[in-house]
Chains A and B, each alone.
Chain A
Amino acid sequence: MFGSLHTRSHFSFLDGASCVETLVEVAAGLGHHALAITDVNGVYAAVRHQRACRRAGIKPLIGIDLKLTHASASALDISVLACNAEGYRAICRLSSRLHESTSMTLQQMQQADALGHVISGDCVVILHTLSATPQDTAAALADLRQMYGQSLYAGIAHDGRPWALRRMRAMVCLAREQQVPIVVAQDVRYARRDDYAVHDLMVCIREGITIHDPHPLRPVHDRHCLRSQAELRELIPYPEAFDNVEHIIAQCSFDLLPEHITPPSARVPDGVTSGELLRTMCTAMFDRRYGRSLPQTRARAQQLLEHELGVIAQLELSDFFLVVHEVVQHARQRGIRCSGRGSAANSVVAYVLGITGVCPVEHHLLFERFLHRGRKGTPDIDVDFDSERRGEVLMWMEERFGLQQTAMTATIITYRIRMAIRDAAKALGWPEETVRALSKSVPGYTNNSVETYRHELAGVVGNVPMLEILIRAASLLLDHPRHLGQHSGGMVLSSKPLEMLTPVQRSANGVAVVQFDKDDVEAMGLVKFDVLGLRMLACISECLELIQRHTGTAPDVDDLPLDDAQTFETIRSGRTLGVFQIESQGQIHLLAKHQPERFSDLVTEVALFRPGPLQGGMVHPYIARRRGQQPVTYPHPDLEPILADTLGIVLFQEQVLEIAHHFAGMTLEDADDFRSLVSKNRNRDLMASMRDRFVQGACRRGVDLASAEKVYEMVSHFVGYGFCRSHAAAFAKIVYQSAWLKTHHTAAYMAAFMQHRPGMYNLMTLEEECRRWNVPVYLCDVMCSGLRYDIEYDAAGRVAIRKPLTAIRSVSESVARQIVWERARAPFISVEDLVQRLPDVPRDTLECIAIAGAMQALEPDARRAAWIVGVVRQRMSAAASAEETLFALPALHADDVPPLPPLRAQERLAYDYIMQGAARVHPMTLYRRSMMSLEIRTIETISRLSPDARLQVTVAGIVILRQAPPTARGMLFITLEDESGFLQCAVPPAVRESFRQELRSSALILRGTLHGIGSWRSIMVSDVRILTRVIGGYHGHLSYAGGMDTLEVGQDPVLTVIP
């Protein structure tokens, strides 16, 4: 038996150049019987390695490469291989400790192995050839021999560099002197010789050097690849070293992929099983959900509950459900809003336990999409929590389940095109400015090759020879892991200490993270619970708190009737800016066509606007059928019960599953696999095989071949990301809640929305939206603003939003707290008084507060207020440092402030943007007269025009959104905003190409044909101008704020400060 015992995969993060699957494939091809993956400081590849080895029929050995410091001041390169489960546990612990400190000594390694597994023969330790002196090597070998005895081997390798044989002989002599057995341990960094290039590139990136710089760690040859035993025997003339490879391979036997799961431990009383407890709880809580339901709904729910409890018990997931329920229950007790999403919403058990909020019976949700008896691994239960308080939930979970038993799932951050271009360009030695320009010239997310963007890259550096190298280098890097990241919410919960199963390391922000991603975690039988943060939930919570505080009572949004006419009117009219999921321009456009009338329409609305339905061409037929412009037909009568509520169109993942099950006769397990495959559409061979199974299955059920093929074609169009119905229903509930709050409690909702900013629009647009809804937004005010957005009622009972002090740039929470704290003692009576009472607040910050207009209650003129701040602060400094006589002087004399001109409109606007990110008047108001002369209409005027005439119109405004979704086939969507509203403008690819430079501007004039439906309007752009090139030079015009406009040609202080 032979195999490589010292192999690094690309999970050594820039220290290995091949993926595990390729390494295993090549090793098997070379006739190896085993392969050890020994990545640097971790076992990141262990699960994939084990799987790949199972497929290839070779033995996986799991190990780790460590670098230890030794008393001889040399660094020891050591591999530790796990012989069994205990050995793996020791490796996990070692790896965890290694990530706690920057270096590890031999003694520390021994301490980390507290249970002595490495010593007791559960591990094999291999010391690799040292670059140190023979004396140091001898000392290290002696120490290691003393510590690890029979478990220690001296690794010998032909490193392919000059005098390799001489070094090998020296190592063999030292090992024989110390009676340490030798073993072949070639240093493998990649699978094939050609991977040498990517290895060299990775070393350059890792070491921060260019490819032109010499470095001792850079490879000088391509022999760090896997090699056959015969080839190595020619190079390494020590047969016993090969015998020892066989010995080690025979010694190591460990399976990381169990057939069972390791659930978290729920709180279950003695004498009761977790299954019994779950059943008891579901029975007790059933009436709370279904007490007022129709008898048939209740009966159906009862039937489903029984079925689900059976499946859950069989899959040993009762503990998991109890734990999730406990977490959700705890969050609610602490007033933390949460809501289950994803496929878990298909479960009656989850609904009854309060984990999810939509009834699976009423919404025809299919449990099998979530869980079925054939499911391998654990199901996903995703719960959204109030994003601001999610940390509290995580902390409580760590406390409740134990720090040793909880950690976050990792994500493997791989090279995408932009990062690949960036790192490759840097390694090729281009200056930082060019590197930035190159990386910006390609999209952030794309599946296209680097070659596709040759034109864009050449646009930055020209068609130089280095461009070819850049394209090659970046292509080499694509998809290789770059570093380990942290999953957004996947928390692993285990009843055993996690270090028995995986190393745990700390992320940059101190969070414990396992070394595996979600798929690997599932394969290991660990249970992951997605604790996600959703800012919209924080927004709803804050909105309800505001209502409660100001009116004394808050609505129960979880129990709202789902048929409020005003709410649906808001939705249908597209006034949904700020509403969860349906605020984008594309969604507003779809709302105009779809015209939702009931809750189930919202479920469809949420699901329609996804890449799956959009790319599958399902949106337009659905809308046409809904509007009665197209008849509702089914490719086969058997599909009518499945597709009736979506008018014969496949919109939900569950429908794909049901078609595969009912129409093609697949088992539910196979149907779920089919659904997963179709959604991802990653493997053509598998798709072809599934097609055959689908068609043959349908034919066996008596369906004719033509219909079977037709249905398959229809279903297979459901590619890309699409929602499952349960997820859409869970989200639709939040859509309805947020739309209801915006409709009935606009001020509180928009205040909370601006506080948490869960949407896609900037603050200026949000403030404009408030004004459109007749909700004034009051400026920050040192006399009444707090730390959060708030609402205020005036004497007439009109409600407005008060901006917080923290909305001012440079006002930190700490400064705002000082102001509020001091104000609570006694109100400020003047600017002078305020400055004197806040000695710890920096002068710059006070000036920002003044210029932002937040001192207007004390001094109406902002420029004068800022001046007073400067004078008083200067006097205070002088008094603090000089004699006592100065101390007695007043902080402000009557003649300290000269007559100052008030802020002009442009200045006011610019300061508003700079200080608060939003202006009290829209910038376009200052240009309106000029634009009217040019026949540029307001957006509100355009919205009133009929789209039928296909009029040519011209609009001008600030660009608030610029989107080019991959589903739009090269179309660019620009949303322009002026003082009257906003408008989506579609720029076709040809126009986009012609006006590439102009379209980058932040303020534009666009001309095009008017389109629209219902209240929705957009223009198809045919001509583009930059706003500042058309207007300007209007010196002497009447100013918006009175007086004369002093704007000069080429000077535009307003527009240049827009972020």
Chain B
Amino acid sequence: MKFLLEPIDVAQRNGLPTIICWRGGAYDVEQVLDRWSARGPWWGSDEQRRYLLLITTSGVMEIFHSSISGWMLSRIFD
């Protein structure tokens, strides 16, 4: 498992990601394994994050959508 925090492009259908574009590659999303959310301190930035755990053609990826920084790749699993 690698911790990353890199911006990615995400193609979506019905609010769910279908293709992940990262470091020049494009990876199809095969299955959504899990989803959860997180929110920053209410007295601070108040950032909202929506996490998704996906099976892609490149393996398992944990991505999130932040109300501040957009789509990010947070972790990949071997």
Contact of A222 among B35, B37, B53 (CB under 8 A): B37
Task: Please pick, from B34, B37, B41, B43, the residue contacting A165 in the complex, using a CB distance under 8 A.
Answer: B34
Which of B33, B41, B42, B53 has most A Cβ within 10 Å? B42
Q: Is B51 an interface residue (CB 8 A)?
A: yes
Total residues of chain A contacting the partner, CB 8 A: 22
Q: Is the CB of A160 within 8 A of B43?
A: no
B36 at the interface (CB under 8 A from A): yes
- Is B42 within 8 A of A200, CB to CB? yes
Contact partners of B36 in chain A: CB under 8 A: 159-164, 221
Name A161's closest neighbour in chain B (CB-CB): B36
Interface residues of B, CB < 8 Å — how many? 13
A220 touches B38 (CB 8 A): yes
A472 neighbours in B (Cβ, 8 Å): 43
Of residues 972 through 1004 on chain A, the ones whose CB sits less than 8 Å from some CB of chain B are none
Most buried by B among A162, A166, A469: A162
Q: Mark A230-241, 1 if CB is under 8 A from B, else 0.
A: 000001000000
Q: Given the complex, which residues of A lie within 8 Å of B39, measured CB to CB?
A: 196, 219-222
| B42, A196: Cβ atoms closer than 8 Å | yes
Q: Check B34 against A166 for contact (C-beta < 8 Å).
A: yes
Determine if B41 and A162 form an interchain contact, defined as CB atoms under 8 angstroms apart.
no
Number of A-B contacts (CB under 8 A): 40
- Name the contact of A162 in the complex, choosing from B42, B48, B51 (C-beta under 8 A): B51
Partner of A197, one of B33, B42, B51: B42
Minimum CB–CB distance for B29 against chain A, Å: 16
Residues in chain A near residue B33, CB distance under 8 A: 165
How many Å from the CB of B39 to the closest CB on chain A?
Answer: 5
Smallest beta-carbon distance A735→chain B, Å: 53
Please name all residues of chain A whose beta carbon is closer than 8 Å to the beta carbon of B37 when the two chains form the complex: 160, 221-223
Measured in the bound complex, the distance between the Cα atoms of B39 and A164 in whole Å is 16
Contact with A along B55-67 (1 / 0, CB 8 A): 0000000000000
Residue from A159, A223, A469 in contact with B43 in the complex, judged by beta carbons closer than 8 Å: A469
Is A164 touching B34 in the complex (CB atoms < 8 A)?
Answer: yes
A196 to B38, CA, bound (A): 11
Q: How far is the CA of A221 from the CA of B39 in the complex (A)?
A: 5
Cα distance A162–B35 when bound, in Å? 7
Task: Considering the complex, give the chain B residue whose CB is closest to the CB of A466.
Answer: B43
Bound: A472/B35 CA distance, A: 31
| A473 CB within 8 Å of chain B | yes
B74 to chain A minimum Cβ distance, whole angstroms, is 11
A 149-172 binary contact with B (CB < 8 Å = 1; else 0) = 000000000011111111000000
Q: Are B41 and A211 in contact (CB under 8 A)?
A: yes
B43 touches A473 (CB 8 A): yes
B34, B37, B39, B43 pick with most chain A CB within 10 angstroms: B43
Complex formed: what's the CA distance from A366 to B7 in Å?
77
Q: How far is the CB of B32 from chain A (nearest CB, A)?
A: 9
User: Once bound together, how far apart are the Cα atoms of A222 and B38, in whole Å?
Assistant: 7
A222 to chain B: which residues have CB within 8 Å? 37, 39, 48
Chain B residue with the shortest CB-CB distance to A428: B43
Contact with A along B4-39 (1 / 0, CB 8 A): 000000000000000000000000000001111111
In the bound complex, what is the Cα–Cα distance between A165 and B55 (angstroms)? 14
Q: Chain B nearest CB: distance from A321 CB in Å?
A: 54
Task: Give the chain A neighbours of B34 by CB distance below 8 A.
Answer: 162-166
B48 CB contacts on chain A under 8 angstroms: 222
- Return chain B residues, CB-CB under 8 Å to A200: 42
- Report B-chain residues with C-beta under 8 Å of the C-beta of A166: 34
Q: Interface centre among B33, B37, B51, by most A CB within 10 Å? A: B37
Q: How far is the CB of A476 from chain B (nearest CB, A)?
A: 9
The B-contacting residues of A in range 204-256, CB under 8 angstroms, are: 211, 219-223, 235
Q: Which of A163, A221, A473 has a CB less than 8 Å from the CB of B38?
A: A221
Q: Across the interface, name the chain A residue whose C-beta is closest to B42.
A: A197
Which residues does chain B contribute within 8 Å of A201, judged by CB atoms? 42
A-B contact pairs, 11 of them (CB 8 A): A159-B36, A160-B37, A162-B51, A165-B33, A197-B42, A211-B43, A221-B37, A221-B38, A222-B39, A235-B35, A472-B43
Closest 4 A-B residue pairs measured CB to CB?
A: A197-B42, A221-B37, A165-B34, A469-B43
17 more contacts with CB within 8 A, not counting A162-B53, A197-B43, are A159-B36, A160-B36, A160-B37, A162-B36, A162-B51, A163-B34, A163-B36, A164-B34, A164-B35, A165-B35, A196-B39, A196-B42, A219-B39, A221-B36, A222-B37, A469-B43, A472-B43
